[in-house]
A and B are shown apart, each in its own frame.
Chain A
Amino acid sequence: MSLETPAPLTPYPRHGSNSGQPISRRDGELKVTGQATYAADNHPPGLLYAVTAVSSIARGRVAALDVAAAKAHPGVVEVITPANRPPLSHDPDVKLGMFGFRIEVLQDDKVRYANQPIALVLAESLEAAVEGAALLRPRYEVEPARTGLGNGDRYAPAAVGVGAPPRTAFGDLDAGFAAADQVIEAEFTTPAQFHNAMEPHAVVAQWDGDHLTLDMPNQALVMSREAYAAYFGVPGENVLIRSPFLGGGFGSKAILNGPQILAILAARHMRRPVKLVLSRAQMYGPVGHRGRTWQTLRLGVDGEGRLTAMHHHSLAATSSFEDFLEPAANASLHAYASPAILSQTEGLRLDIGTPGPMRAPGEASGSAALEVAMDEAALACGMDPLAFRLKNFAETEPGTGRPYSSNALRECYAEGAKAFGWAGRPLQPRQMRDKDGLLVGWGMGTALFPCPHFPAEARATLRADGTALVETAGVDMGQGAWTALAQIAAEALGLDPEQVEFRSGVSDLPDAGVAGGSGHTASAGLALHNAGQNVIARLAELAGADPASPLFGAGNIGVVAKGGRLHRRDDEGRSESYADILARTGQTELVGTGRMARDEEAVQAWAMYSHGAVFAEVKVDPDLGMVRATRLVGAFAAGRIINPKLVRSQYYGGMIWGVSFALQEAAIADPRTGRIMNADLAEYRIPVNADVPSLEAILVPEDDRYVNPLGVKGVGEIGITGTVGAIANAVWHATGVRVRRFPIQIEDLLGGG
C-alpha cells in the first residue's frame, strides 16, 4: 500500500466498561499470603534433587572430575557428565526455531564460559547434591579467556537481536554530515547486566511414560512446549508446562537453557521426578544477560539545531558459540527526524554465556547512549534539551516516512515538563544547589518502544448459568496478566470480571504467544477479545433465530452484549440474558474461539510505537561525588490503557530499572579469568527502596485506531528507555561532568570538588 492511499479507518466497536478500570491484581492475595505456588514449591513424591556443578574457568576443557568421590557421598545417587549423559533428540549445537539458542548440555567436555554446567549431580536431598557437586573437584585444561576489547574476536554479524539487520541506512550520511555545522561525537559503554529475577530459574520435571510435566517459570508456554518436545523426541502435546506465576522473567525465561534440559533428561533417565533450582550465582552464565556494548554516536546538526545526520555504531559482546547481539544501535533508527541515519552493529566474541533479550533489549542500552548524545548536541546548539528534541520531532517515522498510527509524544513532552517544572532550567551545568549545598541537576530523555505482536489464540465458553470460562496459555510474570487479560475477556463478553473464570498459565490451553516485547496484553488480549466476540456472535445467532426470543430477527441490526444480556442495538430495552438464551435453545454451553488478528494493510501502512518522555532530577554531593536520584516524572502514551493501576506499576518498575542502569548495575568479571566476581545480590547492586526517588507516571491519553482492534500498545519496557539517559543528563547538569560509561560511579564525579 502506498502512503498516498490512506489506510481504511476501521470503526472498532467499543462497549462495556471493564477495560480501563484500575482493578487490583486478582492474584495479589494469593501472593501476599504465600499461597501462590511457584515452580520450586512443587514436591512430588519420590523427588530427586539436581544440582549443577559449574565451571570456574571461562575457556578450556574439563580434564577430570572426581565422580567417585561425589557418588560416594551419602545421598548422591547419580552424577551425569559428558561421559555418560543420555542422548537428546535434538543437537544442542543447532538452533531450534526463532528463539532457539545453542545450549550447553554436557554435549562435550569443552568449557565455553565461567559458570557453565559441567556435570549434574542427583541426590536424595538438596544438601547431598550440593556437596556432591563440590566433591567433583574438576581439573581443567585452561585456555586464555577472551574477556574484553583487547582479546575478543570482532566479527561482522548476520543479524542482531532477534533477526534484525546489522546495518540499516536511511538517506545520504556523507551529505548529512557535510551539511552539518557541527558534529557531536561521543563514545559510550554499557556493562553486562543480569536479569536477576527474584525467582531463580527452576524446574520440577516428571515423566509418565513419554508424557512430561514441567513445573517451571516460563514466558512462552506453547512455544517452549514444542521446543522441549523436540529435545526429547516426543510430540508437543505430550509436554505439559505449568507456570501459573513467575517471580519475574524480564526476558530470561522465554528461551530454553541448558540446566533445565539436563534436569528433564535426568528425570527420564532416573525414572523419578527431578527438581533443579539454580542458585543466584549459577544464574550468571547459562540463562542469559544483557550483553556489554561499546557505542559510538555521531550527530550532525545545522545552525538552527536540526539534525542533519545520525550515525550510531555499536560493538556488542556475545558468546563464542552463539550470536545474540544487543541491538543497541537500532535505538537511533526511529527516534528523531534526520535526513540521514545509519545504524551499525559489530559483534565481539568473548568467553561468556550467551546474552539474550533483557527488558527493552537494544532500546535500553541504545537509548541510554542516544539520549546523552542528544543532550550533548542540544548544548552544542545552545538549546534547551526539550526544545532541541521538539526541533527534531519526527512527524513521521524516520527513514520510512510512514505516518504514526498514533503519536502523543508532544503531549508527553508537554505534560511531563509541566508536572516536573522543567521550564526555566538553566542551560549550563552546576547552576543549581539546594538549601544544603547539594548540586542539583535536571535531565530528560525520550522513551520509545515498538509494538510487536505475536500469534495468539484463545477460547471462550459461555456456561448455562450465564457466566463464562476463558482460556489462553498466558503468562503472568508480575505484570498483571491474570487481571488485565481477564478484563479484556470480560469486556468482550459483556460480563463483569467476577463472572469470568480465566484459565491461563498452562501449556495445554490455546497458545497465548510470548510474554515479551511488551506485546502480551495486545496479542493475548486480542485473541481473548476475538474469542469473546465469537461466542457472543454465536449466541446472538441462536437468539436471533429463535422466535421465542425478544431478539428474534435482530440479525441484521445486531446486538450489544452487556451485563450478561444481549440487547438489540436499535432498542436496548429488548434484551435477554445469556442463561435464558442457552436454556431455551437447549445448550449447556457455547464455545467460541479467537486469535490475534490485525489489519495487515494497516500494519504495513502505519508506524506503531509507544512513546514517552522522562524528566529526572538528581542531587550530587559536590565533595564526595555521591549521586541521589530525587525525582522522576515520566509521561507515557501507549494507546488504550486496560488497567491504569497495573500500567502505572509497569512504568514505575521501568523507571526504577533506569535508575539502576544509570547508577548501579554492572556485572564485574575478572579480566583474566572471566569469572564474575559479584554474582550475588549483595554486590551486584540494584536499588533498594531508599534509592528510589519520588516517582510520577503520567498516563497520557492516546486513541489508536490502527495498532490493533483493541487500541492497545505495550507498556512493559518503555519505562526504562528514556530514564537512563535522563538521569545521566541530570548528573551532567548537576556537576558539569559528562560520564559516558554506565553505571556512573563516584570516581567519575570526584574530580572537581
Chain B
Amino acid sequence: MNRFDYIRPASVAEAVAAATQPGSAYLAGGTNLVDLMKGGALRPDCLVDISRLPGLDRIEWLADGGLRIGALVRNADLAHDALVQARFPAVSEALLSGASAQLRNVATLGGNLLQQTRCPYFYDTASACNRRAPGSGCDALQGENRSHAVLGWSDHCIATHPSDLCVPLVALDAVIEVQGPQGSRGIPLETLHPLPGDTPHLETMLSPGELITAVRIPAEAIAVAGHARYLKVRERTSFAFALVSAAAGLELDGGVIRKARLALGGVAARPWRARVAEAALEGGPATAEAFARAAEAALADARPSGDNAFKIELARRILIRALQEALAGTPEQRPALPASPFAPPSGARHVA
C-alpha cells in the first residue's frame, strides 16, 4: 500500500482545516473508500478520520417536526429507528435494501451520499475514465454498459450514482448541512451531485474541505408516510446495487393525488427526482392510467447510453409499480424482503 498520512481530528473545525489541503479525503465507515484505495482507483495523501468526531451520530427530531440525522449515523441504526420507520418508511426500506447487514453496521449516512459510482471503468485503473482521471476519456461508452445511465449522461461519462438511500431522500426534499472553511450552509440533496456534462470529475457541489455534518428531512415529507414505498430491481436479492429503483410517496385526498414525491435510482449520475412526473400526477386521480402517464413523463428524456435501452422501460415499470404499492398503502410490517417487488413469502420475516 502507498504511504499516506492519517489524522484523527478532535473537532469539525480541525477536520475541515485538515481536509482543505489538496490530496486529503474524509474517512468515516470506509466501506467504499478503502476498497477504492486497495484497488488503486483513489490514492489520497492524507486520510482525515472523522469517525470519532463527537455529536455527529445523533438522530434528532426538530421542533418543527422535521428530522435531523447526523452524518455519522450508521445505516443500520437509522434503518431500525422506530420513528424513522414510521414517518419515513421509504428511507428505512431503502437502507435495508442496500449492501449487506455487515456493511450497514459500518457505513455512515454521509458516506452513503458521497459514495462513488460502481462503474467498473472507474475502478479499473487501466481504463480511461474522465471521472477518475479528467480528460482521459470514457471507456464505458463503448464498453460493457448495460447497467449505465439513461438520464442526464454525457459523452464524457455515463456512470450512475449507486445509492439506494439517496433516492427516497431526494423525493422527500432532504437538505444536507455542510461545514467548510467559509462556515456552514445547506444544500438541497437534489443538487449535491451535478450531472457529468464535460466535467464528470466534479462529483459534488462541495468545496474543498467541506464536510457533510447532517441531513435534514422536512416535516412536510411526513405527509406521505402512509403511502410510501421504495422498490428496487436488482439481480440478486441482497448485496447488489439497483439496476433501477424508485421511491414513491403519495398524499391522497380521497382518490385524488394532492402531492406526489417521486425519484428514480440507478438511472443517472444523481438520484433522479422526477418532478415532471409529480406535476403530471398532482391534482389528478390515482389511477393506473395516471401512473402510466407519469412514468412516461419521468422517462421522456431518457435515452440509452449503450446496451441499456431496456433500463428505460424497466424504470417506467418500476415507477408504476412503486406508485401502485404506494397507493395501496405503506405495509404495516416492513416487508420481509425490503424493497423487493416480490411479495413477501407469507409469514417469513427476513431482512436480506
Give chain B's interface residue range (CB within 8 Å of chain A). 35 or more
Q: Give Cα A671 to B306, complex, Å.
A: 14
Q: Give Cα A677 to B317, complex, Å.
A: 28
**Segment of B22-30, B76-84, B184-192, B232-240 engaged in the interface with chain A:** B232-240
**Segment of B62-70, B196-204, B335-343 engaged in the interface with chain A:** B335-343
The answer to whether the Cβ of A624 comes within 8 Å of any Cβ in the partner chain is yes
The answer to whether the Cβ of A668 comes within 8 Å of any Cβ in the partner chain is yes
A438/B126 in contact, CB under 8 A: no
**Segment of A240-248, A339-347, A535-543, A684-692 engaged in the interface with chain B:** A684-692
Give A138's nearest chain B residue, CB to CB.
Answer: B126
The answer to whether the Cβ of B9 comes within 8 Å of any Cβ in the partner chain is no
The answer to whether the Cβ of B107 comes within 8 Å of any Cβ in the partner chain is no
Q: Give Cα A265 to B239, complex, Å.
A: 39
Measured between beta carbons, the chain A residues less than 8 angstroms from B235 are 664, 685, 745-746
Give B351's nearest chain A residue, CB to CB.
Answer: A690
Q: How far is the CB of A250 from chain B (nearest CB, A)?
A: 20
The answer to whether the Cβ of B146 comes within 8 Å of any Cβ in the partner chain is yes
The answer to whether the Cβ of B144 comes within 8 Å of any Cβ in the partner chain is yes
The prevalent SS among residues of A at the interface is loop
Q: How far is the CB of B35 from chain A (nearest CB, A)?
A: 9
Measured between beta carbons, the chain B residues less than 8 angstroms from A664 are 235-236
Known: A664-B236, A683-B120, A745-B235. A688 touches B352 (CB 8 A): yes
Contact among B146, B237, B317 for A691, CB-based, below 8 A: B237
B342/A619 in contact, CB under 8 A: yes
Q: Give Cα A279 to B132, complex, Å.
A: 23
Measured between beta carbons, the chain B residues less than 8 angstroms from A349 are none
The answer to whether the Cβ of B349 comes within 8 Å of any Cβ in the partner chain is no
Contact among A130, A621, A675, A753 for B124, CB-based, below 8 A: A675
Q: Give Cα A690 to B120, complex, Å.
A: 25
Additional A-B contact list (14), CB under 8 Å, known A675-B127, A688-B352: A56-B124, A127-B1, A623-B320, A624-B321, A668-B120, A672-B143, A675-B124, A683-B120, A690-B350, A691-B237, A746-B233, A746-B314, A747-B314, A753-B317
User: Could you say which of B235, B243, B318 has the most chain A C-beta atoms within 10 Å of its C-beta?
Assistant: B235
The answer to whether the Cβ of B6 comes within 8 Å of any Cβ in the partner chain is no
Annotate A651-690 by CB proximity to B: 1 below 8 A, 0 otherwise: 0000000000000100010111101011000110101111
B352/A690 in contact, CB under 8 A: yes
Give B143's nearest chain A residue, CB to CB.
Answer: A670
Annotate A712-753 by CB proximity to B: 1 below 8 A, 0 otherwise: 000000000000000000000000000000000111001001
Contact among A56, A130, A438, A753 for B342, CB-based, below 8 A: A438
B144/A624 in contact, CB under 8 A: no
Q: Give Cα A691 to B236, complex, Å.
A: 7
By the criterion of a CB under 8 Å from any partner CB, how many residues of chain A are at the interface?
A: 38
B236/A687 in contact, CB under 8 A: yes
Measured between beta carbons, the chain A residues less than 8 angstroms from B236 are 664, 685, 687-688, 691
Contact among B239, B313, B341 for A682, CB-based, below 8 A: B239
Give the 7 A-B residue pairs with the shortest CB-CB distance, closest first: A56-B126, A690-B237, A747-B310, A436-B343, A677-B120, A690-B352, A127-B1
Measured between beta carbons, the chain B residues less than 8 angstroms from A678 are 120
Measured between beta carbons, the chain B residues less than 8 angstroms from A619 are 342
Annotate B290-328 by CB proximity to A: 1 below 8 A, 0 otherwise: 000000000000000000001001100110110000000
Known: A672-B142, A685-B236, A690-B350. A677 touches B343 (CB 8 A): no
Q: Give Cα A130 to B1, complex, Å.
A: 6
A626/B142 in contact, CB under 8 A: no
Q: How far is the CB of A708 from chain B (nearest CB, A)?
A: 41
The answer to whether the Cβ of A628 comes within 8 Å of any Cβ in the partner chain is yes
Measured between beta carbons, the chain B residues less than 8 angstroms from A677 are 120-121, 124, 143-144
Known: A746-B310, A747-B310. A690 touches B238 (CB 8 A): yes
Q: How far is the CB of B174 from chain A (nearest CB, A)?
A: 27
Annotate A419-439 by CB proximity to B: 1 below 8 A, 0 otherwise: 000000000000000001010
CB within 8 Å of B: which of A96-130? 127, 130
Q: Give Cα A690 to B314, complex, Å.
A: 23
User: Could you say which of B144, B320, B337 has the most chain A C-beta atoms within 10 Å of its C-beta?
Assistant: B144
Q: Give Cα A672 to B121, complex, Å.
A: 13
Q: How far is the CB of A623 from chain B (nearest CB, A)?
A: 5
The answer to whether the Cβ of B8 comes within 8 Å of any Cβ in the partner chain is no
- A residues bordering B, Cβ < 8 Å? 56-57, 127, 130-131, 134, 281, 436, 438, 619, 621, 623-626, 628, 664, 668, 670-673, 675, 677-678, 682-683, 685, 687-691, 745-747, 750, 753
Measured between beta carbons, the chain A residues less than 8 angstroms from B118 are 682-683
Annotate B119-139 by CB proximity to A: 1 below 8 A, 0 otherwise: 011001111000000000001
12 inter-chain pairs at a CB distance below 8 angstroms, sorted by A residue, are A56-B125, A624-B317, A624-B321, A670-B143, A671-B144, A672-B143, A673-B127, A677-B144, A685-B240, A688-B238, A746-B235, A747-B314
Q: How far is the CB of B289 from chain A (nearest CB, A)?
A: 16
Q: Give Cα A131 to B37, complex, Å.
A: 11
Annotate B139-154 by CB proximity to A: 1 below 8 A, 0 otherwise: 1001110100000000
Q: Give Cα A429 to B56, complex, Å.
A: 55
The answer to whether the Cβ of B2 comes within 8 Å of any Cβ in the partner chain is yes
B352/A675 in contact, CB under 8 A: no
CB within 8 Å of A: which of B30-52? 39-40
B143/A624 in contact, CB under 8 A: no
Measured between beta carbons, the chain A residues less than 8 angstroms from B321 are 623-624
Known: A127-B1, A130-B1, A623-B317. A750 touches B240 (CB 8 A): no
Measured between beta carbons, the chain A residues less than 8 angstroms from B317 are 623-624, 750, 753
User: Could you say which of B40, B124, B146 has the most chain A C-beta atoms within 10 Å of its C-beta?
Assistant: B124
Measured between beta carbons, the chain B residues less than 8 angstroms from A671 are 143-144
B1/A624 in contact, CB under 8 A: no
Q: How far is the CB of A632 from chain B (nearest CB, A)?
A: 15
Q: Give Cα A671 to B307, complex, Å.
A: 13
Contact among B121, B243, B350 for A746, CB-based, below 8 A: B243
Give B1's nearest chain A residue, CB to CB.
Answer: A127
Q: Give Cα A727 to B127, complex, Å.
A: 36
Q: Give Cα A624 to B242, complex, Å.
A: 13
B126/A675 in contact, CB under 8 A: yes
A621/B1 in contact, CB under 8 A: no
B146/A747 in contact, CB under 8 A: yes
Q: How far is the CB of B150 from chain A (nearest CB, A)?
A: 13
Give A660's nearest chain B residue, CB to CB.
Answer: B236
Give A129's nearest chain B residue, CB to CB.
Answer: B1
Measured between beta carbons, the chain B residues less than 8 angstroms from A687 are 236
Give B324's nearest chain A residue, CB to CB.
Answer: A623
Measured between beta carbons, the chain B residues less than 8 angstroms from A626 are 233, 341-342
B40/A134 in contact, CB under 8 A: yes
Give A619's nearest chain B residue, CB to CB.
Answer: B342
Q: How far is the CB of B136 from chain A (nearest CB, A)?
A: 14
Q: Give Cα A685 to B239, complex, Å.
A: 9
Contact among A56, A57, A621, A688 for B239, CB-based, below 8 A: A688
B1/A131 in contact, CB under 8 A: yes
B237/A750 in contact, CB under 8 A: no
Measured between beta carbons, the chain B residues less than 8 angstroms from A683 are 118, 120
Known: A626-B341, A675-B126, A746-B314. A670 touches B139 (CB 8 A): yes
Measured between beta carbons, the chain B residues less than 8 angstroms from A685 are 235-236, 240
Q: How far is the CB of B308 from chain A (nearest CB, A)?
A: 9
User: Could you say which of A127, A621, A625, A690 has the most chain B C-beta atoms within 10 Å of its C-beta?
Assistant: A690
Q: Give Cα A625 to B235, complex, Å.
A: 10
B337/A690 in contact, CB under 8 A: yes
